Structure 1
Amino acid sequence: MLERIRFRLAIPAETYLRHYRGDAHAVSVIAEDGRRIQFPATVLRGFVSSEGVYGRFELVFNEQNKLVEILKISE
């Protein structure tokens, strides 16, 4: 069974650029259910705009806790 974790992000472009400079490798957020989760910043690449990364997202994990996909579910 797949596990789904939802959270909101508001990362300005300047902050996300730290990833490209090599200063930041992971994103840490508090999920909607209260858990702190951490994942590689690279999974957000498809969601970066000129303003940064904003919206409500869902991470999907398999039974081995491997990331299957990330979905943007709203702005």
Structure 2
Amino acid sequence: MVSPLNAVIVNLYISPDEYQRWYQGSAQSVLAQTVDGRSVRFPAPILRQFVTREGIRGRFRIHFDADNRFKKIEKID
């Protein structure tokens, strides 16, 4: 189990067009602000499972390992 210290929560609102640029490879990562004000960068492909016609919308918890590498993502809202 991942410690809460190794997880961040972000609210994401990404349009379908914006995500399409990431999917096509013009951007490899997403830079977002966490709900507690920190900046976090993570690989764009981890969001693929959450893409809808409206893009990506919601609150997500992103888990990292002890080396700050992506471990898993879950939609929480």
Q: Which runs of 5+ in 1 are unaligned?
A: none
Structure 1 residue identity aligned to 2:60 = F
Q: How much identity, in percent, do the aligned residues show? A: 38
1:35-56 deviation digits (Å, cap 9, x = unpaired): 1000010000100011100000
Which deviates the most, 59-68 or 25-34? 59-68
Quote the offset at 1:21 in angstroms.
2.2
Which position in structure 1 is the counterpart of 2:29? 26
Equivalent-residue separation in structure 2 for 1:59 and 1:50 (angstroms): 22
Q: Which runs of 5+ in 2 are unaligned?
A: none
53, 56, 59: which is aligned to 1:56? Answer: 59
Which position in structure 2 is the counterpart of 1:11? 14
Quote the offset at 1:22 in angstroms.
1.9
- Runs of 4+ displaced beyond 4 Å: none
Structure 2 residue identity aligned to 1:30 = Q
Give the structure-2-normalised TM-score: 0.88
Give the structure-1-normalised TM-score: 0.90
Contact 2:23 2:45 in 1 (8 A): no
